[in-house]
Amino acid sequence: AKGYRALPVPIRTGTGNVIDNLRSLLSISNNVLQGDLRGAGNKAGRFVINSTVGILGIWDPASALGLEKTGKEDFGQTLGKWGVGSGCYFVLPVLGPTTTRDAIGLIGDTFLDPVYQITHNNEVMDRTYSEHNYYYYRGTGAIDFRAKNIESFDSVEKNSMDLYASFKSLYLQDRKQKISNSNSKVETQDDSDWEEIDTN
């Protein structure tokens, strides 16, 4: 993540935009499952515009055209909308903090993610894709997220008496906010904290 931060800002911004654009396909699926057709339509419109006019999502012309950027949706949030309780909190190696519900959601996201389906099928539209492309996409997304939040992680680590409890509190509050689609800030955050807490 520190090496990635050394890249020029336009490259990092473009990379983050491309990752977010691809990730919106998974959000569309979950918006539909949650019954949020307006949200799904907004994300679908953004994807089409940014993938074409924005050249694969490098730029974000959809925002300039009035299609506002909204939060990511995942199957863990969908399960929460359906009334499934969060279950116990734990930390997965590499993937980070989660709950029982969100861990099941990670499995669901794999099957709902069109990028996964395209890269793991032998042939789509007469073209062959490698499954490695999916892992490059997910790995780049993780590095981009970590790079955007280096200071936030360092601040929490430096100022917390109990780092595990702090991350648990931040994660659970953030997930509750996302499931309810609330725009209010997590109480323990100030304006400079966390671009986004996300295991996806």
Q: Residue 117's pLDDT is what?
A: 86
Q: Residue 119's pLDDT is what?
A: 84
* Closest among 55, 9, 12 to 144, alpha carbons compared: 12
* Closest among 125, 96, 120, 124 to 200, alpha carbons compared: 96
Cα separation, 176 vs 200, whole angstroms: 16
How large is the greatest C-alpha to C-alpha distance in the chain, in angstroms? 56
Q: Residue 189's pLDDT is what?
A: 44
Chunk the chain into consecutive blocks of 10 residues (it has 200) and report each block's average pLDDT, rounded to whole numbers: 94 95 96 96 97 95 93 96 96 92 95 88 62 88 93 91 93 95 55 49
> Structure tokens of 166?
């702090």
Q: Residue 104's pLDDT is what?
A: 97
